[in-house]
Amino acid sequence: DVKVTQSSRYLVKRTGEKVFLECVQDMDHENMFWYRQDPGLGLRLIYFSYDVKMKEKGDIPEGYSVSREKKERFSLILESASTNQTSMYLCASSFWTSGTYGTQYFGPGTRLTVL
């Protein structure tokens, strides 16, 4: 079974803090993704990575950065957390399949609250 794990299930931070969210997958997937999920807005892609040290901006990259130093690990960084970044953050991974992102497998999510 594919396993995607995220470092925290719940996190509470203060405005202006630097926040690190970490994701690890054990299936040797090339692709890794960070999404945020908000009621009524669905899943929105923040960043994705198709290889070590490679990254591409998604639909809403502002206020976020990412790091992928090892194939199995993908980190999301909030440089200076703000209250509008309170959300559920989901990590996913997949194989690159025939020119598509293939089927993505998700982690359990991190519910981040910024006060």
What is the rounded CA–CA span in Å between residue 32 and residue 68?
Answer: 9
> Interface with other proteins includes 99 (CB under 8 A)?
yes
> Interface with other proteins includes 23 (CB under 8 A)?
no
Contact range with other proteins by CB under 8 A, out of 14-22, 62-70, 79-87, 95-103:
95-103
Q: In whole angstroms, how close is the CB of 67 to other proteins at the nearest point? A: 21
> Interface with other proteins includes 65 (CB under 8 A)?
no
Residue 70: how many CB atoms within 10 A of its CB? 10
What is the rounded CA–CA span in Å between residue 85 and residue 76?
Answer: 12
Nearer residue to other proteins within complex by CB, 43 or 77: 43
User: Which amino acid does the sequence have at 105?
Assistant: Y
> Interface with other proteins includes 28 (CB under 8 A)?
no
Contact range with other proteins by CB under 8 A, out of 11-19, 34-42, 67-75, 77-85:
34-42
Q: In whole angstroms, how close is the CB of 109 to other proteins at the nearest point? A: 5
Phi, psi of 2 (to 5 degrees): -65, 135
Q: How far apart are the first and last CA of the chain?
A: 37
- Closest by CA to 105, choosing from 26, 46, 47, 37, is 26
Binding site for other proteins (CB under 8 A): 4, 40-43, 45, 90, 97-109, 111
